[in-house]
Amino acid sequence: MYDLHNHILPGIDDGPATLEESLELAQIAVADGIRHIVVTPHIHPGRYENQIATITPVLETLRQAITTAGLPLTLSMGAELRISAEMISMIPSGKIPFLGHWQGKKVLLLELPHSHIPPGTDKLITWLKAQDIQPMIAHPERNKEVAGNVDKINPFVEQGCLLQVTAMSVAGRFGDAARNTAEILLQRDWVTLLATDAHNSKHRPPVLSEGMHAAAEIIGEQAARALVSSIPEYIISGNDHT
């Protein structure tokens, strides 16, 4: 399996604080059947000032530790970019890593605020697509506005956005509202892939299988497996930052 949203890097955002904690997450991921992780530290202007230059050395340190530990796990670079006005200058400057490619466009993992959909987000999506960037909305099922009315995500689907749903949302670990919203998105065939959005070993572990099995109850085994295997593999096969 492939995990395209994971905060496994140590000391760089609200994920693990130490390399030892990161290795523990790597071991959990491997035990669950995950063989590749795209690391996606937060890039949130004013809070997490990450960019390719700051992510690279931390990624290399963790890669080395994983190799030393003999774990069958590979890593590549991405990021979770919070929607903000600063994006407009950050993206052209080449500081933002992409997850990979989708139909020739670079895939960017975009995070909405948890509370709402900011006005003007549709215009930002239009701008990104004009830059040959394919937006992927991170965990829309956990956005309060979308969870309150799933049709709030419709305009973004119509604009061609991809949707990444958290595996544990489907399994019910983020509450009924997130689970019900995830189920509707799956039923509508709007979910591009499942990912862990892992942050720690206790409450946000890097486990995909539980969510995949829950999704299989809704859309069938073959379609659910594609959400954690062939579809994410297709995206990372064109990853610029390996």
Strand partners, 168: none
List per-residue pLDDT tens for the chain, 242 residues long. Answer: 999 999 999 999 999 999 999 999 999 999 999 999 999 999 998 899 999 999 999 999 999 999 999 999 999 999 999 999 888 889 999 999 999 999 999 999 999 999 999 999 999 999 999 999 999 999 999 999 999 999 999 999 999 999 999 999 999 999 999 999 999 999 999 999 999 999 999 999 999 999 999 999 999 999 999 999 999 999 999 654 43
CA nearest neighbour of 40 among 25, 62, 59, 26: 59
Q: Within a 13 Å sphere around the CA of 189, how many CA atoms are in the beta-carbon half?
A: 2
pTM of the predicted model, to two decimals?
0.96
Q: What is the DSSP string of 77-101?
A: E--EEEP-TTHHHHTTTT-----EE
Collapse the DSSP code of 228 into the 3-class scheme (helix H, G, I; strand E, B; otherwise coil) and give the result.
coil
* Two structure tokens written together for 192: 């591009």
Delineate the domains of the chain, giving CATH numbers in brackets.
Answer: 2-236 (3.20.20.140)
Helices (DSSP H) in the chain: which residue ranges? 19-32, 52-69, 87-90, 121-130, 144-148, 154-158, 167-170, 176-187, 209-219, 221-226, 230-236
- Residue 131: C-alpha distances to residues 8, 97, 104, 196, 216 (Å): 29, 14, 12, 28, 35
